[in-house]
Amino acid sequence: MKQIALVSCVALLLAGTPALAQLAPDAVHLGRVKISEIQKSDQLDPVTLETADPALATWKHDGVTYGASAAGSKQKFMADPTLFIKPALKKRWENNFLKQMSIIWCPVTDEVSAGGGLLWDELGLDWESCCQFCNETKTDEDFPRGLENLQKRAAESFILTKNGTYQEGFTSAVFGAIDLTGEGWGEEEESEEAAETEVQAEIIPAWLAGKTLKPTWDGGIGLLFEYRCVECHRTGGVAPMDFMSLGKVKQWSENLKANIEMRTMPPFPAGGKHKYANGKFLTQHETDVILEWIEAGYPEGEAMYKFTRNWRSPWMIGQPDHEFELPEVVLAEEEAESVKEFEIETSFDEDKWIAAAQIIPTDSFLTMAVEAGPLGSYHPGNSVKIAPKGTAWLLKKGEKVKVSIFYTKEPEWEEFDDETRFGIKFAEAPGTPILTDRMGNDSLAIPAGKAGVEATSEFTFTADGQILAVTPVARERAKKVNITAVLPNGDKKVLVNIGYWNAMWQFTYELSAPLAAPKGTVVTMNVTYDNSAENAKNPDATVDVKAGPNGELLEGWINYTLN
């Protein structure tokens, strides 16, 4: 159930009862959370660090009012106040951190909640689940573990805010202690790039070019949903709810607004408005227009918008020019995770140039990854690859294509993969051939219970070329992922920076423009792992972990061309 659990919790983030979050929507954004004084200074005994008894007298010192939980507290405090002032300040900050953060925190997934789940009163805190899945699968161990995690972050937050005091420019008490959005990385990258280029504009996709968005369904909202949401939110998509019509969208209004405001949907872990041609995020203007539309009551406009693409078809690349299938694969009862190797005989009597490829697995819960060279690749959230203009993947005459599939399932019953499909679209003319290479670390080893373990893998250009895209791959113990290119002259280019890794969103990040990579350029993927019990996604913190099935991955795929 672990793999299904992770998929369900992401996919069901929007799927719940009306939002129950007790903080304002903009406060749920981790970069803007303020820790308020739920517990005042006169409600904590600075000597015992216990809740003060309101029946006992309070006292003041240096303008601060203190309370007592025992009759002798004031006398002990006044004998040497310096012994008690900072510990009391720290304890009260941590208490307030726990009380406020638990309201927007799910102890099951160890993630911020968008609202819409159940509120639990456990261990003296009000917890909130992030989706219906957590309501059904929580255990007695989830709350103590969640409390322990938040306690450690509260202590870190006290240090980061310099003894619980907000500093100039420090907008959040949790931003350093709880880095789950990765926005700190993304904003830093963009600011550095902005210094170099002075002005950057958000990438406007071709389908939006020249259009003016209005807050009506036919004035632009339907268009945004078609191209930003429906790829997943449709019949046969990976998300559980269907956004194929205005009526269906309105059914999810409460959670829709919360997730747009939090920027958890559409998911695109690396952020980077200016870096990626295939960015799935909403621009600020798009966000503002959608929120205005929701506030206005979902007006249709003058006419009903009709989707321009056939989203009922499973083929996002359009009807393939050619399809391939694999023979049926039986995964035995005792298998949990395994890698199977296959070979597809293409049997073409001439070279073919591929402009687009898509892989449709039999079951997205069963298939973790597929690598099939020119015939495509599949990872959660990523099943289509399209060649940039002027390039293509070369499929040689009669080539036998090797296919590798990473399967994951629960033991104790058989599973069958009998419908994995490969579809390709041919290019109109030959192009510069796209090459794909793996940069993996197969000697990866992470000790049991160990957090903060870093490991790397590399790819070196042996000739002048250009980087087109990169795909980072890791699993549940990964926490942060960074891919950089260091040029021979020493210049360092950040390709991907993910501050909070989610194994269920393994995107291919297509650069907005090819990056020149002279001979000797080294591309490095760095991953930070957490194999401790504090990692709520960790399948088992008591075992040493190695690379491969039933373990972890450190694997990057790079698409590039050579001069």
Same domain for 422 and 485: no
Same domain for 500 and 453: yes
Residue 534 in contact with residue 149, Cβ under 8 Å?
Answer: yes
- What percent of the chain is modeled with pLDDT above 90? 43
- For residues 8-17, give the mean pLDDT: 32
> Mean pLDDT in the chain?
82
Model pLDDT, residue 262: 66
- Which of 137, 158, 179 is the last residue in one of the domains? 179
Model pLDDT, residue 324: 93
Model pLDDT, residue 233: 85
**Which residue pairs from 251-254 have beta carbons closer than 8 angstroms and sit at least 24 positions apart in sequence?**
252/14, 252/15, 253/294, 253/298, 254/18, 254/19, 254/115, 254/116
Residue 509 has pLDDT above 60, yes or no: yes
Residue 558 in contact with residue 469, Cβ under 8 Å?
Answer: yes
Question: Which is more confidently placed, 545 or 207?
Answer: 545
- For residues 360-371, give the mean pLDDT: 87
Same domain for 385 and 356: yes
Model pLDDT, residue 506: 86
Instruction: Name the pLDDT band for 246 (thresholds 50, 70, 90).
Output: confident
What are the tokens at 368? 């973790």
Residue 73 has pLDDT above 90, yes or no: yes
Q: How far apart are CA 229 and CA 239, in angstroms?
A: 10
Q: How many domains does the chain have?
A: 4
Same domain for 335 and 258: no
Task: Specify the range with the lowest mean pLDDT, choosing from 186-195, 477-486, 520-529.
Answer: 186-195
- For residues 81-108, give the mean pLDDT: 90
Question: Which is more confidently placed, 79 or 203?
Answer: 79
Model pLDDT, residue 335: 83
Distances (CA, A) of 127 to 39, 108, 143, 370: 18, 10, 9, 38
Same domain for 105 and 48: yes
Cα four-point dihedral sign 271, 276, 279, 281: positive
Residue 8 in contact with residue 133, Cβ under 8 Å?
Answer: yes
Model pLDDT, residue 127: 85
Residue 416 has pLDDT above 90, yes or no: no
pLDDT in tens, 515-543: 999 999 999 999 999 999 878 788 899 99
Place of tokens 């739920």: 38
Helices (H), 198-283: 222-228, 246-250, 253-262
Instruction: Name the pLDDT band for 190 (thresholds 50, 70, 90).
Output: very low
Residue 26 has pLDDT above 80, yes or no: no
Radius of gyration (Cα) for the chain, nearest Å? 26
Same domain for 561 and 531: yes
Residue 32 has pLDDT above 70, yes or no: no
Instruction: Name the pLDDT band for 10 (thresholds 50, 70, 90).
Output: very low
- For residues 267-289, give the mean pLDDT: 80
Same domain for 222 and 327: no
The domain in which residue 97 lies consists of: 2-179
Same domain for 273 and 319: no
Same domain for 203 and 75: no
Read off the DSSP letter of residue 388. P
Instruction: Name the pLDDT band for 31 (thresholds 50, 70, 90).
Output: low
Same domain for 553 and 404: no
- For residues 435-441, give the mean pLDDT: 94
Residue 356 in contact with residue 424, Cβ under 8 Å?
Answer: yes
Question: Which is more confidently placed, 520 or 209?
Answer: 520
- Which of 160, 179, 198 is the last residue in one of the domains? 179
Model pLDDT, residue 24: 41
Same domain for 155 and 73: yes
- The CATH number linked to 500 is 2.60.120.230
- For residues 347-370, give the mean pLDDT: 90
Instruction: Name the pLDDT band for 187 (thresholds 50, 70, 90).
Output: very low
Residue 25 has pLDDT above 50, yes or no: no
- Which of 433, 456, 483 is the last residue in one of the domains? 433
Residue 27 has pLDDT above 60, yes or no: no
Same domain for 146 and 6: yes
